[in-house]
Amino acid sequence: MHNHSRFSDGLLSPTQLIELAARTGVDAIALTDHDTTDGLEEAAIAASKAGVLLVPGVEISVNWGETTLHVVGLQVDPASKRLAEGLRAIREGRLGRAERIAAALGKLGFSGTLEGALGLAENKTMLGRTHFARCLAETGAVKNIQAAFDKYLAKGKPAYVPHRWATLEEAVAWIRASGGTAVMAHPGRYDLKPMMRDEMLGDFKRLGGEAIEVVTGSHRPEQYAMWRRVAEEQGFLASRGADYHGPGESPIEPGRLPALHQSLAPVWSKWAH
Ligand code: AMP
Ligand code: MN
Ligand code: MN
Ligand code: MN
């Protein structure tokens, strides 16, 4: 229930992603590109050819205080005006942000990264840090993408540029207005202490958030049990998703993660029969 294509910062086309999922035995898959639903049309065609059920999705970037959160919308309707307008508005700032990232990298001695990142981005309106990381890795400036984040692009590093995304309230409202279900993506990645975590999840729930990711390629396996407990105690449905970005970058392919614990109510119980 969480995968990327070349329409955001994934490496595969939607068709290639669906074909990979069909090969790994997946019966339903969500495409959840960052801040865009543009890949869903192609994904729907590929899914019907492959006999896989497509769950139309999106992963929305959000500011919550100082923290950037990601909220996944599942079963969204890409034709929803409110969702499309909201996503367009948050994508709009990405090019300006990219220019500032490139300028910061320039000061560190890396030139031409804006052109490099743009060249790697199929969807020029969805230029993100991953494209810069790939550019730095390809030119040999860093040994791999992870090193690019660890040294330069992650929060607190010299080429990190803060940005205004959607508010949590907006992201949940857009998802719900389009008929979708709001899922807190990879809650274990936000580095929030338990009190802040509970405040964040409390806000999310109050605003209409219904599920959290428990088993995800963005959690370490030893984190699954804790997030399972949080889902149970705080009354969230649970989601499971690879957060797949492509071969060589994401070790866990769609369909390869362990099942959700049987005590959890899966988010797809809302719509799967
Ligand atoms: P952006 O929306 O442009 O800030 O890019 C966010 C994306 O960068 C995430 O969806 C991940 O794919 C990737 N990313 C963020 N932080 C890291 C990290 N520490 N290590 C590897 N990839 C990361
Ligand atoms: Mn990403
Ligand atoms: Mn994410
Ligand atoms: Mn993701």
Per-residue pLDDT of the chain (273 residues; tens, 9 = 90+): 999 999 999 999 999 999 999 999 999 999 999 999 999 999 999 999 999 999 999 999 999 999 999 999 999 999 999 999 999 999 999 999 999 999 999 999 999 999 999 999 999 999 999 999 999 999 999 999 999 999 999 999 999 999 999 999 999 999 999 999 999 999 999 999 999 999 999 999 999 999 999 999 999 999 999 999 999 999 999 999 999 999 999 999 999 999 999 999 999 999 876
Alpha carbon distance 202, 138 (integer Å): 42
| Six token digits for residue 123 | 């969807």
Q: 103 C-alpha to center of ligand 1: Å? A: 19
CA of 196 to the centre of ligand 2 (A): 24
Burial of 149 from C-beta contacts in 10 A (0-12 / 13-18 / 19+)? buried
The residues placing their C-beta within 5 Å of ligand 3, an ion, are 70, 185
Cα gap 31→229, rounded to integer Å: 27
Q: Is 154 in the pocket of ligand 1 (CB under 6 A)?
A: yes
Q: Name the closest-CA residue to atom 3, ligand 1.
A: 128
With a 6 Å cutoff on the Cβ, whether 244 touches ligand 1 is no
Report the predicted TM-score, pTM, of the whole model to 2 decimal places: 0.98
**For a pocket test of ligand 1, which of 6, 7, 9, 135 has the largest count of ligand atoms closer than 8 A to its C-beta?**
9
CA distances (Å), origin 268, targets 48, 182, 201, 238, 261: 19, 12, 20, 9, 14
Q: Are 10 and 250 in contact (CB under 8 A)?
A: no
Residue 130 CB–ligand 1 contact under 6 Å: yes
